Chain A
């Protein structure tokens, strides 16, 4: 036998080709191409002594333990069994070419000379994933248990979701301990649904969508998990978690109610025991932007600017106070207030309160005093006081056309400042009164 080096293509000739081949010869050329390829062979030249049944000289092609043909004669001659332009294909990566010659090449007593043959072979991709009816009939296992993927020179296997390819590269085993769903909507189901789910599952289906979205779950029919009439879910169970809270453990044939998880992260844990033939479960999950509760004023002086019928993630509202009131966050006075709807559906700041502005104790007036026009001791917005000078020794300085009483009235403004209508914040002044003795000199004697 002659073993050709493994190549993707090449030529095979008869001995001495193109000179006449020798007599009494039997050689077998072994053509091998890389694994994952088949061998395709075509004869370009063929000149072998013709005979009935190719008994004398012949070329025999075999592959895969089968003979693909026995050929003799010439390409364009009806004598013998020439291969013509026929392409020969192996199933595997090996093809054998056996060349047999007898003791002589004579025709009607004349010695004939035959050149032999020139064949061209090439490696052709083997589609390992193609159906192999013969193999099935022969009881052979398919190459891949679930999915087969062919490529030039080879193939690989993969498994359906929830299954993991095993080390043999072909078989699949249930593996659902870390299934992740990140699309804003989709379907999640137990393995093989609606066919019975496999035993001994420890599945974790995690739904993780963008912050600010909330996940809704809607279970579909059929819903079927092994159950017991007296004990709650002793065999198999589906647990649902969101925000670290258990939303329920489900089994039986009654599908769970639609669930609004109020979370963007939901985990479904599905445990099964070693037996059972329930069909499992399937749910459709959808998402919507999370909503915050409608802001509510804590007092009648708070004004929520431009209130909206609904507030969702990243929406915000601003708060102001009625005139004369001050925004307060705890004990802290605020110049403005804005709250933003957070991804968890809460407001990032608590609603403030509006506290009435307080002007504080009125400034004391040198050589004068004040009294409350409004409620005594109350110094809040709209409170009024009247400053007066210590008469008759002092007199209030007033502008022309103004009276002391006008000049002395101060009102607590919305800005929390005592202000006079004419002079604003400027304090009144008490000036000494000259030349007005209380007890002037008099003389009764005349």
Chain B
């Protein structure tokens, strides 16, 4: 997290910390599902890492990196990658969404609670503030604590123009949205992928995961790009099943 601050216990109780090819994030849905980014499981550059067949470790329930690992990992029963995800296309983050089904349900508590899913487009209005949290890098160091940053949903066209200026050809599809402000050095960064962009629905007094930290060009230098969860709610619900 660039330009953010440490989270207090219970601020983001849905936050998961994953280590697969590298550190990543995720969010608890229900009591045995983790919403994350597909590229944390099937990275775009798999040969970059030394471990070609890593274990999928999921940690929950704490804001301290050391403590959360002490609590033990939660075995994963099933990994579900969205069918649109293309690992072999390094610049294409379409369908960058995945679900991890845990072997056992977790017991919810003050520091371990699920986040809700969005149900309408109002969560994506320009300027709507959201929170991104993660154990990812702060720029030049790995934090010991969960950090968060408050970011606005950005204008799509501005984000697209910014990409052009960067001569980046990565598709910015309707299944993504962007947040941040080039003028402010606040952003998610490496290690935050899979974590969610959480928006508070003041009407219902609930927190909703509207986006998944997906990709960006550098960190804190412009906009961050997120998987638009709303477009995948039906898929998520189908995979999780009725009982969830």
A→B interface (CB under 8 Å): 367, 390, 393-394, 431-441, 443
Contacts and interface: CB of A to CB of B under 8 A. Distances in A.
Given A436-B205, A441-B131, A393 B9 contact: no
A437 B108 contact: no
- Which of A367, A390, A433, A434 has the largest count of B CB atoms less than 10 A from its CB? A434
Given A393-B108, A393-B113, A435 B10 contact: no
Please classify the interface of chain A as helix (H, G, I), strand (E, B), loop, or mixed, using the class held by over half of its residues.
Answer: loop
Contacts of A436: 113, 205-207
Contacts of A441: 7-8, 11-12, 131, 148
B13 A438 contact: yes
Contact of A439 (B9, B30, B117, B201): B9
A343 B205 CA distance: 81
Contacts of B150: 443
A433 B113 CA distance: 7
A434 B11 CA distance: 13
B100 to A, nearest CB: 16
Contacts of B38: none
B179 to A, nearest CB: 16
Contacts of B222: none
Given A432-B113, A435-B114, A437-B113, 16 more contacts: A367-B108, A432-B30, A432-B114, A434-B29, A435-B201, A435-B207, A435-B208, A436-B113, A436-B206, A436-B207, A437-B13, A437-B207, A438-B10, A438-B13, A439-B10, A441-B131
18 contacts: A390-B108, A432-B31, A434-B113, A434-B116, A434-B117, A435-B116, A435-B207, A435-B208, A436-B206, A437-B11, A437-B13, A437-B14, A437-B113, A439-B10, A441-B8, A441-B11, A441-B12, A441-B148
B241 interface: no
A394 B110 CA distance: 12
Contacts of B131: 441
A2 B14 CA distance: 148
Contacts of B14: 437
A408 to B, nearest CB: 19
- Which of A390, A437, A439 has the largest count of B CB atoms less than 10 A from its CB? A437
A440 B11 contact: yes
Contacts of A432: 30-31, 108, 113-114
B169 interface: no
Interface of B: 7-14, 29-31, 107-110, 113-117, 131, 148, 150, 200-201, 205-208
B143 to A, nearest CB: 16
A439 B206 contact: no
Contacts of A438: 10, 13, 110, 113
Contact of B11 (A394, A431, A439): A439
A435 B9 contact: no
B219 to A, nearest CB: 21
A434 B13 contact: no
B10 A394 contact: no
A439 B200 CA distance: 13
A386 B9 CA distance: 33
Contact of B8 (A393, A394, A439): A439
A394 B105 CA distance: 13
Nearest to B112: A393
A390 B207 CA distance: 20
B134 to A, nearest CB: 13
Contacts of B207: 434-437, 440
Contacts of A394: 108
Contacts of B31: 367, 432
Contacts of B201: 435
A432 B31 CA distance: 6
B193 to A, nearest CB: 20
B10 A437 contact: yes
- Which of A435, A436, A440, A441 has the largest count of B CB atoms less than 10 A from its CB? A435
A434 B115 contact: yes
A366 to B, nearest CB: 8
Contacts of A367: 31, 107-108
Nearest to B209: A435
A441 B114 CA distance: 15
A441 B113 CA distance: 14
Contacts of B208: 435
A171 to B, nearest CB: 105
Nearest to A437: B13
Contacts of A435: 113-116, 201, 206-208
A440 B199 CA distance: 11
Contacts of A439: 8-11, 110
Nearest to B201: A435
A434 B13 CA distance: 10
B146 to A, nearest CB: 11
A432 B117 CA distance: 13
- Which of A432, A433, A436 has the largest count of B CB atoms less than 10 A from its CB? A432
A440 to B, nearest CB: 6
Nearest to A390: B108
- Which of A367, A433, A441 has the largest count of B CB atoms less than 10 A from its CB? A441
- Nearest 8 A-B pairs (CB), nearest first? A439-B10, A435-B206, A435-B116, A393-B108, A434-B116, A435-B207, A441-B11, A438-B110
